[in-house]
Amino acid sequence: MSDFIAQLIGLGHQYKGVPEIFKDVTFGIEKGSFHFLTGPSGSGKSSLLKMLYLGLKPTWGSLQLFGEDTLKMQSRLVPLLRQKIGVIFQEFKLLEHLKVVDNVALPLRVRGVDAKQCRKQAQELLEWVGLGESLDVYPPSLSGGQKQRVAIARAVIAQPELLLADEPTGNVDDNMAMKLLYLFEELNKRGTAVIIATHNPRLIERSAHPHLTLTEGTILQLPKCTVLS
Amino acid sequence: MSHHHDLPLNKDITARFVPKIVALMVYLGTLCFVFTLFMIHSSALWENQLTTPLSVEMPTLKTTEANSLPSRVLDLLNQTPGIQHAAVVPQKEMASLFHSLLGEDIDVDLFSLPIIIDVSLNNQEKVNFQRLEAGLKNISPHVHVTDHRGWQIQVSNLFHTSIFIAFFITILILFGALATATFATKTSLLIHGQVIEILSLVGATNSYIAKQFQVHAFKQALIASIIGSSFAFLTFFGLVILLEKAELPFVVHSSFFSQTLWVFGLAPVFMAFAMMLSVRIAVMKVLRS
Ligand SMILES: Nc1ncnc2c1ncn2[C@@H]1O[C@H](COP(=O)(O)OP(=O)(O)OP(=O)(O)O)[C@@H](O)[C@H]1O
Ligand SMILES: [Mg+2]
């Protein structure tokens, strides 16, 4: 077994009818690593993460995930790989007809964890992100920042091997942002590889993790603590 | 079983019309199936009891010659190759037949009842019908032989065709219900496309998603079918009472009615499983593509 969770080689993507967003992205995500992913708006950060959680097929190149060649593997493996990945979507993607606690417990439920255990873990996590009062509330009545924290709790509850966070601190104040960064780092210490796509320079400044920048269709790997704005 | 509704299936548009259609289909299908059973039952009874392939009829004449007529006819019949047995229908039986057709108040003695001989055939040899007819005319010109086999086969065919058609319609109704479930499921999949996408992004397998639809379909079909089947039972019960009141002679044994009750009990369970299965097939097919 290699120590890479994901290996991207010459990866590129083009949406129909528009110029390609990136064309030659090559890098590897090691087990237990921590990266920031930056780049101007529209550079393709969300699209790159989408490829990593198998929501978007690359137009060029190859993508290995957990040792599987994603372009050649059987489709029945897709859910199994996704169960190893936690995603915080830029637009949250919460289920509006489910209570907050059930939203958070969703990844556990699809893995077959029993209802009682699901609720217990979801409750703990929600208390930690400051939403202990909102367990039985439905997402439409939450603020943007609250929804974001629900989305984060859902992404981390199953202790994934890879956490993909798309602007996870875009809707919260600095204090909460730092608290969430601390959560990601705690998870990282337990072995989860983390990639955070962000525009937030303070987040990058205050931690000592390397960051990847998407510019002109390729990835530029910057040394630790270098801030590019 | 505690089950979680990750998909808001009972809030979508299909939840409003599918149960009604299923209830209606089960109502019609159950009645149609019971009618099929009724036809099978009565045709079997009819074929067992009412089949006299040949019968010989002669008037009751008050002459001395006439007294020996039946025995001479019987002798001839019993000597004819292909005939297994010939027997005079007792006058009592004839009288009761008349009573059942015309009512108990009729005085049968007012009629001069003919003498009828029922003939059963042995299946190995063929009867030479023309020679038999000529032989009987020889004994007396008043003796008539009737071959019932032609119309009996026709009635038999009619029975079988009706049974086939009734069963075929039952199957069509069943498929109609299952097709409705399939269409509704496809609509549901479109309505809940986003929710399904999110479920699959957090790692739900296709069969996890399908199971949500299945459980929903099973419950929905079970409740709707119980309602449909109950109404079918009431209709059936009403018909039986109505027919009994009309004093129509049933060509059916009374035990048929108690034997049919299982249909009304089993129809909802069968339907619920059939719906669940067809919904699973529909969901898996859509999710795979
Ligand atoms: N479904 C789509 N169809 C067509 N074009 C798309 C689609 N999704 C994204 N794009 C285009 O791809 C480019 C990259 O989008 P993406 O969302 O990946 O950028 P981003 O780096 O995440 O931006 P931001 O920082 O604003 O979130 C954009 O120009 C966008 O218009
Ligand atoms: Mg984005």
pLDDT score of B78 more than 90: no
Q: pLDDT: is B208 or B59 the higher one?
A: B208
Locate A202 and state its tokens.
């303070």
Unique residue bearing structure tokens 């960064």:
A181
Q: Is the pLDDT of residue B3 over 80?
A: no
The closest alpha carbon to B118, from B51, B43, B47, B45, belongs to B51
Residue A213 sits at φ, ψ, to 5 deg, of: -120, 130
What's residue B63's pLDDT?
A: 66
Amino acid at residue number A109: R
CA distance B68 to B70: 6
Same domain, yes or no, for B141 and B73? yes
- A36 confidence band (pLDDT: 50, 70, 90): very high
Residues B115 and B159 in one domain: no
Residues from chain B that touch A76, judged by Cβ atoms under 8 A, are 205-206
Average pLDDT over residues B11-24: 89
- What is residue A228's predicted lDDT score, i.e. its pLDDT? 42
Asked, for residue B1, whether it belongs to a domain, the answer is no
Residues 205-264 of B with CB under 8 A from A: 205-206, 208
- Residue at B234 is within a domain: yes
**How many domains are contained in chain B?**
2
User: How does pLDDT run across B133-154, given as a tens digit for each residue?
Assistant: 888 888 888 888 888 878 888 8
Chain A partners within 8 Å of B8 (Cβ): 97
Give me chain A's average pLDDT, please: 89
pLDDT at position B62: 66
Q: Mean of the pLDDT values across residues B66-76? A: 81
Q: Report yes or no on B2 lying in a domain.
A: no
**Residue A225: its pLDDT value, please?**
42
Backbone angles phi, psi at A11, to 5 degrees: -75, 140
Q: CA B80: distance to chain centroid?
A: 39
Long-range own/partner contacts, residues A117-124 (CB < 8 A, 24 or more apart): A121/A157, A122/A153, A122/A157
Burial class, A51, CB count within 10 angstroms (exposed 0-12 / middle 13-18 / buried 19+) = buried
Interatomic CA distance for residues B213 and A190, integer angstroms:
37
Q: Does B57 touch chain A (CB under 8 A)?
A: no
Whether B113 maps to a domain, the answer reads yes
For a mutational test of ligand 1's pocket, the pick from A21, A53, A214, i.e. the residue with the most ligand atoms closer than 8 A to its C-beta, is A21
| Same-domain status, B92 and B42 | no
DSSP A214: E
Residue type, A200: N
B181 and B57 housed in the same domain: no
Residue B3 inside a domain? The answer is: no
The answer to whether residue A227 scores a pLDDT higher than 50 is: no
CA separation for the pair B246, B238 (Å, rounded):
12
B98, pLDDT greater than 70: yes
Is pLDDT at A158 greater than 90 in this prediction?
Answer: yes
ipTM of the modeled complex: 0.90
Confidence of residue B27 (pLDDT cuts 50, 70, 90): very high
* Residue A166 and residue A45 in contact, taking contact as beta carbons nearer than 8 Å: yes
Rounded Cα distance, A142 and A135, in Å: 11
Q: How far apart are the first and last CA of chain A?
A: 37
Q: What share of chain A is helix, strand, coil (3-state, %, to 5)?
A: 35, 25, 40
Q: Looking at mean pLDDT, say which of A92-106, B35-49, B74-88, B96-110 comes out highest.
A: A92-106
DSSP string computed for chain B: -----SS-GGGSTHHHHHHHHHHHHHHHHHHHHHHHHHHHHHHHHHHHHS--SEEEEE----SHHHHTHHHHHHHHHHHSTTEEEEEEPPHHHHHHHHHHHH-TT--GGGS-PPEEEEEEE-TTS---HHHHHHHHHHH-TT-EEEE-HHHHHHHHHHHHHHHHHHHHHHHHHHHHHHHHHHHHHHHHHHHTHHHHHHHHHTT--HHHHHHHHHHHHHHHHHHHHHHHHHHHHHHHHHHHHHHHHTTPPPSS-THHHHHTHHHHHHHHHHHHHHHHHHHHHHHHHHHH-
For range B149-178, the mean pLDDT:
92
Instruction: Tally A–B CB contacts below 8 A.
Output: 51
- For residue A223, the 8-state DSSP code is P
Q: What is the CATH number of the domain that holds B141?
A: 3.30.70
Last-in-domain residue among B147, B172, B206 = B147
Ligand nearest to the CA of A20: 1
Residue B25 placed within a domain: yes
Cα A163–chain centre separation? 4
My answer on whether B29 and B160 are in the same domain is yes
pLDDT, position A66? 94
Evaluate if residue A150 carries a pLDDT over 60.
Answer: yes
Confidence of residue A86 (pLDDT cuts 50, 70, 90): very high
Q: Which two tokens stand for residue A24?
A: 């030659």
pLDDT digits (tens, 9 = 90+) for B207-232: 999 999 999 999 999 999 999 999 99
Domain annotation covers residue B206: yes
- A206 pLDDT tier (thresholds 50, 70, 90): confident
Considering the domain architecture, whether residues B177 and B283 belong to the same structural domain is answered as yes
Answer yes or no: do B159 and B282 share one domain.
yes
Q: What is the pLDDT of chain B when averaged over all its residues?
A: 86
**Rounded percentage of chain B residues whose pLDDT exceeds 70:** 91
Q: How confident is the model at residue B2 (pLDDT cuts 50, 70, 90)?
A: very low
Residues B278 and B196 in one domain: yes
A172 with A145: CB under 8 angstroms? yes
CATH entry 3.40.50.300 includes domain A32-57+79-221: yes
Do the bridges between strand A34-38 and strand A193-197 make them parallel or antiparallel, or are there none, so unpaired? parallel
Domain ranges of chain A: 32-57+79-221
The position carrying tokens 């069509």 is: B172
Same domain, B104 and B220: no
* Confidence check: pLDDT of A99 > 50: yes
Domain that holds residue B20: 9-48+153-288
Nearest residue of chain B to residue A78 (CA atoms)? B203
Least Cα distance to A80 among A100, A43, A54 occurs for A54
Q: Measured between alpha carbons, how far apart are the two ends of chain B, in Å?
A: 31
Q: Which pLDDT does position A226 carry in this prediction?
A: 42
The answer to whether B121 and B82 are in contact (CB under 8 A) is yes
Angle at B91 between CA B86 and CA B94, to 5 degrees: 90
Chain A residue closest in CA terms to B2:
A115
Closest ligand 1 atom to residue A39 Cα is 21
B31 to chain A, minimum CA–CA distance in Å?
A: 40
Return the higher-pLDDT residue of B47 and B267: B267
- In a domain, residue B4? The reply is no
Whether B44 and B174 share a structural domain: yes
Looking at residue B252, its pLDDT comes to 63
Residue A2: pLDDT band (50, 70, 90) is: low
Structure tokens at A36: 């920031």
Amino acid A208: pLDDT:
83
